[in-house]
Structure 1
Amino acid sequence: MSTGTGTGRDTGVEGTTDRDAPHSTPRPPSRFDPLAALRDEDADRTDWDVYLTGTVFLDIVFTGLDSAPVRGTESWARGMGSSPGGVANMATALSRLGLRTSLAAAFGDDMYGDYCREALEHGEGIDLALSHTVPGWHSPVTVSMAYEGERTMVSHGHEAPPKDAATAYDPQAPECPPPARACVTSLVPGGSQEWIATAARRGSRIFADVGWDDTGRWDLAALPDLAHCEAFLPNAAEAMRYTRTDCPRAAARALSEHVPLAVVTLGPEGACAVDGRTGESADVPAIAVEALDTTGAGDVFVAGFVMGSLAEWPLADRLAFAGLTAALSVQEFGGSLSAPGWAEIAAWWQHTRRYADQDAAALRRYAFLDALLMGCGRQWPLRRAVPTIGFRRGPAAGSGKQG
């Protein structure tokens, strides 16, 4: 299932293609490497910065609704976008930030599956060598309706058939998970994913969030994989329930006794974090924006935090950067294709500096971007969500704007 903060459009979306080849697949964004200064090609044998696995959905998002749909009536949305969703949200956000990303997922052999695979592998530069296509299995679909700053989702799908041994989903297989600087996962209450322990033993840093506990137990002991995590990133409601506290910041402190780094997201209020190893804490407010679609913003936040962590930034800078990427993401349709790249980050920072007198606090908080963005060259335009899965090749195939 899909899972975000900007000014938005509510009348159509822009499709981005390579202007020099209007009928070809949009090229992946050119890669700015935020970890370049830390890489030692002679000593670093890690092919991937981040590995993750999960379910890819096709997301269809309706925006510009004045209210929730009412039974027995027909509602018209003023905007619509389609894009890969589910674990694709996180994978795309990581890749657009310049991290070498490996994704293991099942794809249906229907048109939705072909579209999602094409968009991720060729459009975003995500490695799918550990992914596979399942004959006769249709792709899971989520329809999301955004209104009044919230969203309602309806999903349909069936669990992918299990693969046999020595495959991407067998945690004992020598190539899975692959050596990676970090792995990102979502913890499952009452369950354990053996590959997480395998990755941790190999030296990968594990970053995890968690879904809603439908059992109502909210017991940290029911999250055995938490023991393998470097960072745990629940939202405020989840964190307070797990810690039996009534304050997100108190919840972060309590969680830091169970995991080295506890990060609690506070929605429009920002995020707070406590490093249980050093005692350091940080509390960073969110960037005030008008959201078009919050789908995937939580995933984008985690991706930004992972990138800052791998780059060894100070804790407060990691929180600020993660909040910025989430804020930029909700100004676009969809989950995965709403994720910002370095061009959007640079444009936001240039605008903020130009109007520094209007937002002096942001100028101080994000001053660390100055040195970082000096190495960010020209970036190709990012692919954005469009209403249709694809157009037939022909004279109009490369036209940009879709209603």
Structure 2
Amino acid sequence: MALSEARDHSAFDVVVIGEYYFDLIFRGLPGVPTIGTDIWAEEFDWLAGASFSTALALARLGTRAGWWCTFGNDIFSRMIIEEARREGMPTELFQMVDRPVRRVSAAFSLSHDRGFVSYSEEPERLMPREALRQLKPRVLLLQGFSLDAERQALIEEARSVGILVCSDCQHIDMTLDTPSMREALSRIDVFLPNAKEAMDLTGAADVDGALAALSPFCPTVVVKCGGDGAVAMHEGRRYAVPALPVEVFDTTGAGDCFNAGFVHGRLNEPDFEAALEIGVICGSLAVTGYGGRNLPYLDDIKKYRRANAPV
């Protein structure tokens, strides 16, 4: 059953909680930057990144998504807000403070992967539990992962009122043996690591091993595999969807765009595999331009469905 059949009284279908990053993207490098060496990029652009990409992708797909993010009085915050308004994204949940909240990443983008040098003025503040209860979206989508007590309390609040909790991973320095890790995973409805994160977290030698190790603790595990698409375990069944055959331009933001497509699919599609496919379509199209800006609109999805299924 599509989650949209469950209830329809919330102002937002999805609440995204996560920080913005002002991404400086250097493309066409001869190799990975090293100490004592100057290298030159062939191309450069700046883009709003991190949870901005997720919120933008949801907006383009027609999903009512509120983005909870803190912005300051610095130039980076102002430029991100202006970009959000140009894209017609809802801004009601933007949290404004009268101080700098600079979050910047310099991305070196290679043909097969990318790396970052990043700076954040302060960690993102979570939404108060009372606000989440009042908004009562169908889905809570959390950027990153932590064992922070405040975050765990927010997840418990969401679960208590029937909100589906989805969380990605983002290179955490923990394993399944970290105290409280398994309990924290069991509180999440959908866990969305990429292949490296899943293998690092579990110590598994391959994606299937990582999927098998994570599945006993989380009802739904989706592993993003880049050019190999995605694999998932949902209600005891394994799913796999291949990536689209696209020319890779820049992989920055692909995982954030996948998350949005998958959540949109869970809200609107009649079965899990169709939702996974939409996630893969969004992630695949994201790498064809800078920083995920080649995101599809709802009408674009139809062209890439394997059976031309209705959206």
Distance 2:22 2:215 in 1: 36
Match of 1:204 in 2: 163
Residue 242 (structure 2) aligns with: 285
Alignment of 1:253-332 (within 5 A): 253-276=212-235, 279-332=236-289
CA–CA separation in structure 2 for the residues paired with 1:245 and 1:161:
31
| Largest Rg, 1 or 2 | 1
Deviation at 1:244, TM superposition (A): 4.5
Deviation track 1:26-81 (CA, whole Å, cap 9, x = no partner) reads xxxxxxxxx8x9569xx621111100212111111111223233544443322222
Match of 1:66 among 24, 30, 35: 30
**Does the CA-based 8 Å contact 2:145-2:167 persist in structure 1?**
no
What amino acid is aligned across from residue 329 of structure 1 in structure 2?
A
TM alignment of 1:107-146, pairs within 5 A: 107-120=71-84, 122-146=85-109
C-alpha distance in 2 between matches for 1:269 and 1:46: 36
Q: After superposition, where does 1:333-372 map in structure 2 within 5 Å? A: 333-335=290-292, 337-346=293-302, 348-349=303-304, 366-369=306-309, 371-372=310-311
Look up the equivalent residue of 2:31 and give its one-letter code. Answer: S
Cα distance change, pair 177–198 in 1 and its aligned pair in 2 (3 A)? farther
Q: How does 1:4-403 map to 2 (within 5 A)?
A: 44-120=8-84, 122-159=85-122, 169-171=127-129, 173-174=130-131, 178-192=135-149, 193=151, 194-215=153-174, 219=178, 221-222=180-181, 224-276=183-235, 279-335=236-292, 337-346=293-302, 348-349=303-304, 366-369=306-309, 371-372=310-311
Q: 1:291: how far off?
A: 1.2
What are the Cα deviations for residues 94-132 of structure 1, in whole angstroms up to 9, with x where unaligned?
222111011111112122211111212x22333232322
Q: Which moved more, 1:111-120 or 1:216-225?
A: 216-225
Distance 1:215 1:38 in 2: 34
Q: Let me know the Cα RMSD of the aligned residues.
A: 2.8
Give SS of 1:281's match.
Answer: strand
Alpha carbons of 1:217 and 1:274: their partners in 2 closer, same or farther (altered >3 Å)?
Answer: closer
Query: Within 2, Cα distance between the matches of 1:324 and 1:161?
Result: 29
Instruction: State the secondary structure of the residue aligned to 1:306.
Output: helix
Structure 1 contact 51–177 (Cα < 8 Å) conserved: no
Aligned length in residues: 308
| Mapped contact 1:144–1:151 kept (Cα < 8 A) | yes
Contact 1:106 / 1:160 at 8 angstroms: preserved in 2?
no
Flag the structure with higher helix content. 2
Once the 2 structures are TM-superposed, how far is the Cα of residue 152 of structure 1 from its aligned partner? Answer: 2.2
Distance (Å, rounded) in 1 between the aligned partners of 2:219 and 2:270: 16
Task: Please give the alpha-carbon distance, in whole angstroms, between the structure 2 residues aligned to 1:189 and 1:176.
Answer: 21
- Amino acid across the alignment from 1:197: E
Could you tell me the TM-score, scaled by structure 1's length? 0.69
Q: 1:174 to 1:77 in 2, by over 3 A?
A: closer
Distance 1:242 1:123 in 2: 38
* Structure 2 Cα separation of the partners of residues 257 and 244 of structure 1: 15
CA contact (8 A) 2:255 2:283 kept: yes
* Deviation of 1:202 (Å): 1.7
CA–CA separation in structure 1 for the residues paired with 2:115 and 2:121? 20
The amino acid of 1:311's aligned partner reads N
SS, match of residue 180 in structure 1: coil
Amino acid paired to 1:341: Y
The verdict on how the C-alpha distance between 1:216 and 1:83 changes in structure 2, with shifts beyond 3 A counting, is same
> Can you list the C-alpha shifts for 1:145-170, whole angstroms capped at 9, x where unaligned?
112322121112210697xxxxx732
Identity across the alignment (%): 30
The alpha-carbon distance between structure 1 residues 74 and 232, as it changes in their structure 2 partners (threshold 3 A), is same
CA 1:218–1:344 in 2, change beyond 3 Å: closer, same or farther? Answer: farther
Task: Mark the runs of 5 or more structure 1 residues left unpaired by the alignment.
Answer: 1-34, 163-167, 350-364, 373-403
Does structure 2 retain, via aligned residues, the 8 Å contact 1:263–1:272? yes
Q: What CA distance in whole angstroms lies between the structure 1 residues aligned with 2:238 and 2:175?
A: 29
Q: Which residue of 2 aligns with 1:378?
A: none
Shift of 1:188: 2.8
Q: Is the 8 A contact 1:261 1:273 kept in 2?
A: yes
Q: Distance in 1 between matches of 2:119 and 2:204?
A: 35
The answer to whether the Cα contact below 8 Å between 2:108 and 2:115 also exists between their aligned partners in 1 is yes
| 1:54–1:187 Cα change, 3 Å | closer
8 Å CA contact 2:18–2:124 kept in 1: the answer is no
Q: Which amino acid aligns with 1:108?
A: G
- Matches of 1:240 and 1:77, distance apart in 2: 31
Distance 1:160 1:249, change over 3 A: closer
